[in-house]
Amino acid sequence: MDFNWEAKRRRAAYLALADGTVFHGYGFGAANDAVGEAVFNTGMTGYQEIVTDPSYAGQFVTLTAPEIGNYGCSPEDMESRGVFLNALVVHELNPASNWRAREELADFLLRHGKPGIAGIDTRALTLHLREKGSQKAYLHVDGTVLDETEAAARAAAWEGLDGQDYASRVTTSEPYEWSREGKYHVVVYDFGVKYNILRCLAGHDMRVTVVPAKTPARDVLARRPDGVFLSNGPADPSAVGYAIENIRLLLGKVPLMGICLGHQLLGLACGAKCGRLKFGHHGCNHPVQDVRTGCVAISSQNHNFALADLPDCLELTHINLNDNTVEGIRHRKFPAFSVQYHPEAAPGPHDAQELFADFQQLMEHSGK
């Protein structure tokens, strides 16, 4: 790893927020400027899983853990086919020192064409985002001279993520078989699916077929699935109107399970509202309570929007104990349920992985 002492001393790279606040540091990874939405993730480990999570498309992810890069990167820790976030923001970038490491984090980002910035005060940035909310931002790392005021103006002028369909940008281009064995055939809508979701489904006796986000409901039903899974994904669920309509057509015809964006889309398809959170939920330590049993699970989360104003056809099943937002729903008439958090983890705790067994039982009881 190149320690690049001169760049660390000069601190010529910077992150400019749309409100004019600027944080200085040094660049790593790809030396290209970028624009995105600045958020923070409170996970202590799992940076490779985070940067390869398609749900982060369009975002600058600030890692609150101060030491990053220590265990390098390895092919086994990929959660998708590539890197989808717009940039990575860290405090201290360290060389890898782990037997599993095959690549330095900086080299990994460079290979995928994604920039990063290190050496900034991520604690101050996190506190700023908590107070002001997630913000549009501009990352300047390309080595040219750029006035900070101009960078902040470019951030403010960016279209942002609201009203933007990013699912169609990150989805697979063609259907594919993830696993060919299992009692239940499950079709997964790929709105930005993580590999560990597919692993968990396959691990619960499911034969998994993945289809593009815009696949019509009739084409999914033509595959004669035992169940349909609605995956996680990036940006604004209200902009994914084609998915909402397809879910309406699938309700009552086949058991459904959704995670994250898939949860929001199921809620919208049933008549719920969905709005933006101040700074979102990103991390591996969010307490979620099952309101039916009182049981609490520590969960992995990554989202900026949340459901509200549930219609009568939906039962509230889970809430976030930090802010009481909706974390789980179940349809009162049809075999369909969803959760806002990530029971598959990667990274994060495995407290909620029994939800995949619940989906298995839902298909079993539906007589498929």
Instruction: List active site positions.
Output: 260, 342, 344
CB atoms within 10 A of CB 311: 12
What six digits make up the tokens of 244?
């909402």
Backbone angles phi, psi at 259, to 5 degrees: -130, 135
* Rg (the chain; Cα; Å): 20
Nearest-angstrom CA–CA distance, 16 and 24: 9
Residue of 83, 138, 55, 87 whose CA lies nearest to 305: 55
3-state secondary structure at position 219: helix
CA distances to 113, 183, 296, 315 from 327, rounded to whole Å, are: 34, 29, 12, 11
* Residue that is written with structure tokens 């480990």 in the block: 45
Which residues, 6+ apart, have CB-to-CB distance to 38 below 8 Å?
Answer: 15, 17, 59, 60, 62, 89, 125, 129, 134, 135, 136, 137
Nearest-angstrom CA–CA distance, 177 and 217: 18
